[in-house]
Structure 1
């Protein structure tokens, strides 16, 4: 009997120690954050200057501030890239959705985030670009952005945003008890407001070859005033961007490009690929200024999933 009692005590102690080890490991193990990116059309993704793949993209990453740059794949009209800065939150999946246009004004998309709140309630915040857009919640509660409310039940809801001169945009969200949901929605200019007066047809200009910037170890490519790695730096450009090729140095093979309006410079051919005019529509990737946004979360089906990963 004494041996059985001793064996039972040892077994219980062992179970307790193992349980304590698992608890400590789980408590101190760093949490990860999820990110999902989807675009129309498909695009190449750069996170903090590193090319990570193409859309749709669904991965786990370290929490923290992240710069997202999306380069659309366009074989017809040139589409403008998109860049924004978000904060990945531990235990929360962040989703970015973008519909590309030929300019920032004709592009659209939405960014939504969940944030833990102390009160055991559901909260909704809606921000729009442009500001003061008409907001319909579930087709009946009419208000204007920016809008914040805690008088909303947990569950699925439909947001519809409208503004004069812009295309309306519906967004499906799902609120959760104990979380604040923030939706940032950009509306695209209506095509009727972006039409221009026709002009006399001019003789087509001769298409020039392009260069596409490749990935670099530092996440950008230096533009120099001479075709040499020791020449002065006059600018920086990003991987995935395309520029008109002005000339090519016979000795070094470096490319001369026009990287900004009225500015020219040389780039290394080691990190650039020449594209002949017959294989691509000339389109210089415009520079995009990062737009500050709050922490974001969406779902691939336009209905945000549970806040926890």
Structure 2
């Protein structure tokens, strides 16, 4: 009788243990299923960090969400349009607008230095793309393209550039291009992700432009020839009747100011103008002078038709 009683008690205990075990297993399954469903139903979020100089208003998909520096790690994933309007009270600066594809669990970084135009602005966009856990990659794109690229002090040819193998961690990227301001940034690559750096260079304001060589104005000179009296009179009018205002000597050269069409006489510059004053000039007979180009080695007289001088009141040599 006692054995039967013990058997019944043990059987009842086993049943209770089985029931509690089933309840425990079922409860664990339900909890696991709940966490799984929460993970699926929980909205995916991405992050964005924006920093500018000077500070700017931040618009995402047309709505103003704040001002820089700005960080939001609860953005919906997918494509968004980001517009930055600089706060400038001195000179007008050009706004910046771009489209981004925000990835779940990833923070995209935008930095911008505003200028009066796009070409005088600079900045970078750093974004990530998920790869397999064993992969890691770095892509560098520049504007302008074909820029000289240096990563961690080592030249890597030109942009655009893709590094198929690179160690995870911090790296220094330097970009340079002719007529643009050099730019250096730091990025941090991570295992299982492709990091893309889009870098915009600022146009240099100190571009050396070739100065056109000024054309040297060639002046016509007049060389004084030998005269019977050893000098040539300079007169106020193109005539022997004109008042004498000076004398010049053979082999001397003077700048030709004018040539009289009727008599052929030359008006020469006796004394150059000084301190804004007027030059002193006078007329000489073309019979005892010849025209030459400044800098010319040709000493042959310029052919000219000798014209009969105005009758002189003195029976002397015309000079």
Match for residue 161 of structure 1 among 175, 183, 186: 175
Normalised by the length of structure 1, the TM-score is 0.60
Secondary structure of the 2:120 match is: coil
- Using the alignment, how far apart are the partners of 2:156 and 2:48 within structure 1? 32
Q: CA RMSD in A?
A: 2.0
Structure 1 residues 135 and 17: CA distance shift in structure 2, 3 A? same
* Residues 12-64 of structure 1 deviation map (CA, whole Å, 9 limit, x = unaligned): 32122112111122123231111111111110011111111111111121112
Bigger Rg, which one: 2
1:138-287 equivalent positions in 2, closer than 5 A: 138-193=152-207
Match for residue 31 of structure 2 among 18, 22, 31: 18
Structure of higher RCO (CA pairs closer than 8 Å, 6+ residues apart):
1
Match for residue 96 of structure 2 among 79, 82, 102: 82
Question: 1:182 deviation in Å?
Answer: 1.0
- Using the alignment, how far apart are the partners of 2:84 and 2:34 within structure 1? 43
The 4+ residue runs of structure 1 with deviation greater than 6 A are none
- Using the alignment, how far apart are the partners of 1:193 and 1:41 within structure 2? 25
Q: How many residues of Structure 1 are paired with residues of Structure 2 in the alignment?
A: 196
Unaligned runs of at least 5 residues, structure 1: 198-309
Question: 1:4 deviation in Å?
Answer: 4.0
Match for residue 42 of structure 1 among 55, 61, 72: 55
Question: 1:194 deviation in Å?
Answer: 9.7
Residue in 2 aligned with 1:127? Answer: 141
- Using the alignment, how far apart are the partners of 1:24 and 1:119 within structure 2? 24
Match for residue 56 of structure 1 among 69, 83, 92: 69
* Residues 129-175 of structure 1 deviation map (CA, whole Å, 9 limit, x = unaligned): 01111010001233210111212111111000011111111111111
Normalised by the length of structure 2, the TM-score is 0.58
- Using the alignment, how far apart are the partners of 2:188 and 2:89 within structure 1? 36
Residue in 1 aligned with 2:82? Answer: 68
Match for residue 33 of structure 1 among 25, 46, 56: 46
